[in-house]
Structure 1
């Protein structure tokens, strides 16, 4: 079973939107170097990569071809989830590299939203978890029609983005309220905020990991019931 999954993953990497994945990854990385630009926008390009993989597979009848192979349906879902997980992992690698380069080069503070802090990584994991739950957790009801489910997931992504940025916007607006103080905690690189940011990061990791398992099980059940 592991061999089948790895072979299917290789198929995803070689045939499933490989060239466009490179383009979206470059876009994701480049967003971190635009002055005063929202940090959550870059990783959104990786969700486009995931969506385009489903769209490309739809036009090439990839799912019909794959299930005709001597593999189990759950292996098909597992390979696709591994591919999607790799795309999201690339988003975090891009963010980490962006963090290192911005720090070393002395980039000015991002006045459009949160900085690349530990809290940012935690919130981005939570946003990805919600996106996955809505898109990957429902797309296998009918994997040939991913568009509407992606739109719903994309809307949820930007609602979560706004919710995470609201305290930071209040902080940069110099509001004298508790919301602004929370925003300072999110985006400041002062060492006094390290512990709260680590807690946010840890919460993000737990939420992402748990939601990933739940989303996979949900998708696998849906695909088992799906009649090609």
Structure 2
């Protein structure tokens, strides 16, 4: 698996992925919908899959002495590493913003622990919808991305809108981290758990779908 992941890093990754990872710094922008940061990273995942279609990445991988399940596992693990990296890169910028330039975000969720948790939830739904469509037909990358983006965008809109509608979100979730800190940490832990379980189910279903595909 180590060698397959290395192949993903060296051959499959799209250059835009690195640029999108740096966009975690966008939490420094005042009054900005920070959910967009997560959309950029899933856009990078789309570019990876699209580039793989054009370069026949799946066909190349099928020639290697590995099982189809390993191909799926490597791609999902690689995508998860990208998503986790995006969230981790948010942390230093959130800390800097809260110490030096903190202002309430009028556009939606503040730069806080809750933002990290929401990122894991968005990635969970995106990965499941995208990969369970992608591995039905690896050539229909655009279709898979559109369907997954619809679900992800709906969740983003709900999250951002809730910061203006629901008192619990306004008073506890969308606040500086010194308020309701323990609750936010628990929400983060739960979201990480959901992310892990969701991707396990994503992998299992994707393997089943991919095993039926005639390459």
Corresponding pairs, count: 215
Q: Which residue matches 1:175?
A: none
The verdict on how the C-alpha distance between 1:55 and 1:18 changes in structure 2, with shifts beyond 3 A counting, is closer
Task: Give the number of the structure whose alpha-carbon radius of gyration is greater.
Answer: 1
Report the more deviating stretch, 73-82 or 30-39. Answer: 30-39
Q: What is the SS of the residue equivalent to 2:15? A: helix
- Alignment of structure 1 residues 99-110 onto 2, 5 Å: 99-110=94-105
1:132, distance to aligned residue in structure 2 (A): 1.0
2:5 counterpart (5, 9, 28): 9
- Alignment of structure 1 residues 46-125 onto 2, 5 Å: 46-125=41-120
Alpha-carbon separation, structure 2, partners of 1:190 and 1:219:
37
Q: Which residue matches 1:39?
A: 34
The verdict on how the C-alpha distance between 1:111 and 1:49 changes in structure 2, with shifts beyond 3 A counting, is same
Alpha-carbon separation, structure 1, partners of 2:35 and 2:106:
13
1:153 counterpart (142, 148, 151): 148
Q: Any idea what the Cα deviations from partners look like across 1:79-112, whole Å, max 9, x if unmatched?
A: 1111101110111012112112212322322211
Report the more deviating stretch, 41-50 or 192-201. Answer: 192-201
Q: Which residue matches 1:174?
A: none
The verdict on how the C-alpha distance between 1:106 and 1:226 changes in structure 2, with shifts beyond 3 A counting, is same
Consecutive unaligned residues of structure 2, counting only runs of 5 or more, are none
The verdict on how the C-alpha distance between 1:8 and 1:103 changes in structure 2, with shifts beyond 3 A counting, is same
1:192, distance to aligned residue in structure 2 (A): 4.3
User: CA-atom RMSD, angstroms?
Assistant: 1.5
2:18 counterpart (9, 16, 22): 22
Q: What is the SS of the residue equivalent to 2:110? A: coil
The answer on whether the counterparts of 2:14 and 2:47 sit within 8 Å (CA) in structure 1 is no
Q: Which residue matches 1:173?
A: none
Consecutive unaligned residues of structure 1, counting only runs of 5 or more, are 171-178
Alpha-carbon separation, structure 1, partners of 2:30 and 2:101:
12
Q: What is the SS of the residue equivalent to 1:136? A: helix
Report the more deviating stretch, 212-221 or 197-206. Answer: 197-206
Q: Which residue matches 1:184?
A: 171
Alpha-carbon separation, structure 2, partners of 1:128 and 1:96:
17
Alpha-carbon separation, structure 2, partners of 1:208 and 1:138:
18
Moved over 6 A (4+): none
TM-score normalised by L of structure 1: 0.88
Q: What is the SS of the residue equivalent to 2:180? A: helix
